[in-house]
């Protein structure tokens, strides 16, 4: 009960990449970079195990960014001529590559870090991929001319990689779809369908993470415009409840998401965000356990998976480490409270 995990990303050590950045530059290249990525991956697996998490991941140490790390292995994308594009409904500008031809995988995308992680932990292993709708929102289209068509093309490639990751021994494949919280109607109309295409044929556990973004200024500014009740999940949760996806990861602590929206996910595992990624303050075990208790009003105990609100990538290593420990300690306290009740 209450198996703990993080959403996915963790800070990159200063010897691997620039720190406190969402799109950091690597500190080295070639074989040295490959080795540094491997070292950082092992370091964070050990840290997650030491903190006491039940499910661990690679911390996304081998990819520059959660979307572009995948795109780098896709043929038909021009990375040399990036263009500035407003993403997440123009919430912030990003330099994005352009789709210029039919899409095809050049080969495996994440074999190196997935196989490395699998070889070095006996814990359940979760691996993250960007969702098709979020990819479409983080790349400039000069070829397909149709969002849904392009999303389905990406979904097929994601599916190829997901099936290969499953063969590598990954237990949970999670697709990250922050765009579901921005284009709610599109998410319900075709985003979930594209997601199911990406997960087609998988027998391992499948998950989707939907959030209000990393704890960067553009996101915290945006959140402050969303009012007292954040009801974005309300449109997409019913579509997800009807889908083949097993688990849904959502924001909870310090958000204005009405907790009763979790009822819309009946029949699914719910990864409840009990760690805030927009604040450097380390949660106390009591705060984490209280958040779990609030979620328990709407999610059965055997369906509740304590998690972080989003990735921890742009934070400092010390803060991220403190938050991993808080997640485990707070969950332990919640278990004790439940046993005593």
Least distance CB 107 / Zn ion (angstroms): 27
Those residues whose C-beta lies under 8 Å from the C-beta of residue 130, and which sit 6 or more positions away, are: 66, 67, 70, 138, 158, 175, 176
Report, in Å, the least distance between residue 286 CB and Zn ion.
Answer: 25
Give min distance, CB of 30 to Zn ion, in A: 31
Nearest to Zn ion of 45, 310 (CB atom): 310
Pairing of strands 74-87, 92-105: antiparallel
| Cβ at position 329, least distance to Zn ion in Å | 23
The minimum distance between CB 309 and Zn ion, in angstroms, equals: 7
Least Cβ distance, residue 33 to Zn ion (angstroms)? 26
Cβ contacts of residue 152 below 8 Å, gap of 6+? 132, 194, 197
Q: Toward Zn ion, which CB reaches closer, 76 or 213?
A: 213
In residues, how long is the chain? Answer: 341
* C-alpha to C-alpha distance for 110 and 74, rounded to whole angstroms: 12
DSSP secondary structure code for residue 17 in this structure: B
For residues 258 and 292, the answer to whether their CB atoms sit within 8 Å is: no
DSSP string computed for 33-46: HHHHHHHHHHHHHH
Q: CB of 64: closest distance to Zn ion in angstroms?
A: 17
Q: Which is nearer to Zn ion, 36 or 310 (CB)?
A: 310
Q: Which is nearer to Zn ion, 76 or 311 (CB)?
A: 311
For Zn ion, the closer CB: 264 or 310? 310
Burial class (CB in 10 A: 0-12, 13-18, 19+), 130: buried
Binding site for Zn ion (CB under 5 A): 211, 310
Nearer to Zn ion, 76 or 306 (CB): 306
3-state secondary structure 73-84: CEEEEEEEEEEE
* CA-only gyration radius of the chain, Å: 19
Give the distance from CA 318 to its chain's centroid.
Answer: 21
Q: Measured from the CB of residue 29, what is the shortest distance to Zn ion in angstroms?
A: 28
242 closest CA partner among 304, 176, 298, 196: 196
Min dist. Cβ of residue 277 to Zn ion (A): 8
Cβ proximity to Zn ion: between 218 and 266 the closer is: 218
Q: What are phi and psi of 257, to 5 degrees?
A: -75, 120
Tell me the C-alpha distance between 123 and 107, whole Å: 27
Considering beta carbons, is residue 53 or 211 the nearer one to Zn ion? 211
Tell the residue number behind the tokens 């391992």, with chain if given: 204
Q: Are 37 and 339 in contact (CB under 8 A)?
A: no
**Which strands form 74-87's sheet, in the order they lie side by side?**
74-87, 92-105, 140-141
Which CB atom, from 98 or from 134, has the smaller least distance to Zn ion?
134
């Amino acid at each position: 009960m209450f198996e703990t995990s993080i959403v996915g990303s963790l800070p990159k050590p200063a010897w691997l990449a620039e720190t406190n950045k969402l799109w950091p530059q690597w500190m080295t290249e070639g074989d040295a970079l490959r080795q540094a990525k491997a070292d950082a991956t092992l370091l964070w697996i050990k840290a997650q195990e030491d903190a006491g998490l039940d499910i661990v991941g690679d911390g996304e140490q081998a990819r520059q960014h959660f979307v572009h790390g995948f795109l780098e292995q896709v043929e038909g994308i021009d990375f040399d001529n990036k263009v500035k594009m407003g993403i997440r409904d123009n919430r912030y500008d990003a330099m994005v590559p352009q789709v210029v031809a039919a899409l095809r995988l050049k080969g495996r995308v994440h074999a190196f870090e997935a196989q490395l992680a699998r070889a070095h932990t006996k814990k359940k292993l979760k691996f993250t991929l960007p969702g098709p709708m979020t990819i479409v929102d983080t790349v400039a289209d000069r070829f397909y001319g149709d969002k849904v068509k392009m999303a389905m093309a990406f979904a097929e490639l994601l599916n190829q990689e997901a099936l290969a990751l499953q063969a590598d021994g990954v237990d949970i494949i999670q697709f990250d779809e922050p765009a579901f919280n921005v284009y709610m109607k599109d998410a319900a109309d075709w985003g979930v369908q594209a997601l199911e295409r990406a997960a087609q044929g998988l027998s391992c556990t499948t998950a989707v993470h939907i959030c209000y973004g990393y704890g960067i200024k553009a996101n915290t500014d945006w959140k402050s415009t969303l009012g007292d009740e954040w009801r974005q999940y309300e449109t997409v949760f019913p579509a997800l409840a009807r889908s083949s996806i097993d688990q849904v990861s959502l924001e909870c602590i310090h958000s204005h998401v009405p907790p009763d929206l979790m009822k819309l996910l009946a029949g699914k595992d719910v990864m409840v965000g009990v760690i805030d990624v927009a604040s450097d303050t380390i949660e106390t075990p009591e705060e984490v356990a209280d958040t779990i208790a609030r979620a328990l009003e709407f999610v059965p105990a055997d369906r509740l998976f304590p998690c972080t609100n989003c990735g921890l990538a742009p934070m400092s290593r010390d803060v991220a480490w403190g938050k991993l420990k808080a997640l485990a300690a707070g969950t332990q306290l919640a278990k004790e409270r439940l046993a005593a009740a």
